[in-house]
Amino acid sequence: MTAELACFEERCRARFPITEVIYNCPRCGGLLEAVYSAPETSPAAWKTRWRERRMSNDPMDQSGVWRYRELIPFLSGDSRVVSLREGSTPLLEAPRAARYGGLDRLVFKHQGYNPTGSFKDNGMTCGVAQALRLGRRRVACVSTGNTSASMAAYASAAGLQAVIFLPHGNIAHGKLVQALEYGARTLQVDANFDQILALVRRIAEPLGIYLVNSINPFRIEGQKTIMVEMMDQRDWREPDWVVLPGGNLGNTSAFGKALREMLQLGLIRRLPRLAVIQAEGSAPFYELFHSPDRSRLPRVEHPQTLATAIRIGDPVSWPKALHEVTASNGVVERVSEQEIADAKAVIGQCGIGCEPASAATLAGIHKLVAAGTIRADADVVAVLTGNVLKDPDYIYRYHSGELKAPDGSQIMANFGNHSLLVPCEESQIRILLNN
């Protein structure tokens, strides 16, 4: 088995050693991906092996990422891996959400069950493994969100220093506190995301920093296993649709790559269709997908949405994501702040819960079923990307009727659940609870 980095651009496809520290193609600037030679053993036998590993106490087998290591073989055998037991996330049946979406049945794959509460952990265990293998002492990212929370945890667990660069004054507190608690050095910089990233790229080499931003190809490898695990949990029966939110589009790229590779290896027989859902105020990929010219992304200068995990105006992985959505005969939809908020409350009423970006999936399903794109009897898996506790402020505001969209408009608490102030009087509480 050999692993290499390959340029994703069709007209280039240049190859580089897997241990070269590069973040874009040095020849054309294109995105990079990990590519592998054909496996020496039969992939069909892997299914039994993966099932057996679920009984094992070896951390590598208990990890829902490394359990499927045959499909992400970028490390050499002697590399060290740090696992916090990422992955192994459940498939949850949600009849109430299915009814809301207009489906007979709906299953959520809930990535919020991960150690730091989002799917970023699936990727980060791989990004950090690569940093260790390269002998780096520090990892860094530019992020205010789940990426920084995840990187902080994995870096500390691996004995690496985590450095987080944040645009000053643009902080999502719930996620930032995780980074602080896990011991990351957080630097607030008075500049925008792009300016900071350019700066970090210049200083990374001299400071021995390995960058684990969204385009890191090894994070994508880790996120592939979300689809592999889903197929394993479904006894390899392919769903008709996989629905997910789209921000920087790394996850869309990872899911598409995983499904294509599983098809090539004969592990599945057909590709599920990908449905990527964006928030209306941050929907450049939706615009691209529905425009006659798909060669240039119409970037959004000031992306707006309360679903901060998908508030991205210039998603770096769009060429990969476009390829994957097209290859799967998929679709891209966009949903309003009100639709996200209501869908989120419905997911909560299922006893499941998720962060706002994740709820875009159910809002998108509602729209796509109504439009006839997804049939009511389709077999659909929606991926909930983050944990309900990531954004408690949003939840409280919604249920108390105080949530406002970024444009200042009021979001209706259509599924609101008010907390009541009551006197300590038996008769009154009886009357209240009997109604």
Q: Which of 1, 21, 22, 28 binds Zn ion (CB under 5 A)?
A: 28
Residue 12 is a binding residue for Zn ion (CB under 5 A): yes
Nearer to ligand PLP, 101 or 245 (CB): 245
357, interface contact from Zn ion, ligand PLP, none, CB < 5-8 Å by kind: ligand PLP
Residue 5 is a binding residue for Zn ion (CB under 5 A): no
Interface stretch with ligand PLP, choices 152-160, 188-196, 351-359, 399-407 (CB under 6 A): 351-359
246, interface contact from ligand PLP, Zn ion, none, CB < 5-8 Å by kind: ligand PLP
Tell me if residue 284 falls in helix, strand or coil.
helix
Build a one-symbol-per-residue string for 226-245: x at contacts with ligand PLP by CB under 6 A, - elsewhere.
-------------------x
Count the residues of the shown chain that bind ligand PLP, applying the rule CB under 6 A: 20
245, interface contact from Zn ion, ligand PLP, none, CB < 5-8 Å by kind: ligand PLP
Residue 215 is a binding residue for Zn ion (CB under 5 A): no
Residue 36, classified by CB atoms within 10 Å of its CB into exposed (0-12), middle (13-18) or buried (19+), is middle
Shortest Cβ 12–Zn ion spacing (Å): 3
H or E element: which one contains 99?
helix 95-101
Instruction: List residues bridging with 335 in a β-sheet.
Output: 279
Residue 398 makes CB contacts below 8 A (sequence gap 6+) with 341, 344, 345, 411, 413, 416
Shortest Cβ 2–ligand PLP spacing (Å): 28
Shortest Cβ 22–Zn ion spacing (Å): 10
Nearer to ligand PLP, 176 or 267 (CB): 176
Residue 88, classified by CB atoms within 10 Å of its CB into exposed (0-12), middle (13-18) or buried (19+), is middle
Site for ligand PLP in 368-387 (CB under 6 A): 385-386
Shortest Cβ 25–Zn ion spacing (Å): 3
Site for ligand PLP in 207-226 (CB under 6 A): 214
Nearer to ligand PLP, 267 or 382 (CB): 382
Distance between CA atoms of residues 229 and 50, nearest Å: 9
Q: Which residue has the tokens 């105020």?
A: 281
Nearer to ligand PLP, 82 or 124 (CB): 124
310, interface contact from Zn ion, ligand PLP, none, CB < 5-8 Å by kind: ligand PLP
The angle at the Cα of 127, spanning 186 to 269, to the nearest 5 degrees, equals 140
Residue 7, classified by CB atoms within 10 Å of its CB into exposed (0-12), middle (13-18) or buried (19+), is buried
Residue 27 is a binding residue for Zn ion (CB under 5 A): yes
Q: Which of 128, 357, 368, 411 binds ligand PLP (CB under 6 A)?
A: 357
Tell me if residue 374 falls in helix, strand or coil.
coil
Q: Which of 5, 6, 18, 30 binds Zn ion (CB under 5 A)?
A: 30
The alpha carbon of residue 191 and the mean position of all alpha carbons in its chain are separated, in whole angstroms, by 26
Distance between CA atoms of residues 339 and 279, nearest Å: 9
Shortest Cβ 237–ligand PLP spacing (Å): 25
Instruction: List residues bridging with 244 in a β-sheet.
Output: 276
Distance between CA atoms of residues 153 and 184, nearest Å: 8
According to DSSP H, which parts of 272-375 are helical? 284-289, 318-327, 337-349, 356-370
Residue 77 makes CB contacts below 8 A (sequence gap 6+) with none
Residue 118 is a binding residue for ligand PLP (CB under 6 A): yes
Shortest Cβ 112–ligand PLP spacing (Å): 8
Distance between CA atoms of residues 166 and 213, nearest Å: 12
The alpha carbon of residue 379 and the mean position of all alpha carbons in its chain are separated, in whole angstroms, by 21
Interface stretch with Zn ion, choices 5-13, 152-160, 194-202, 364-372 (CB under 5 A): 5-13
Q: Which of 125, 130, 225, 358 binds ligand PLP (CB under 6 A)?
A: 358
Instruction: Provide the 8-state DSSP code for 180.
Output: H
Contact between residue 178 and residue 142 where contact means Cβ atoms under 8 Å apart: no
* Binding region for ligand PLP (CB under 6 A): 118, 120, 145-146, 214, 245-252, 309-310, 355, 357-358, 385-386
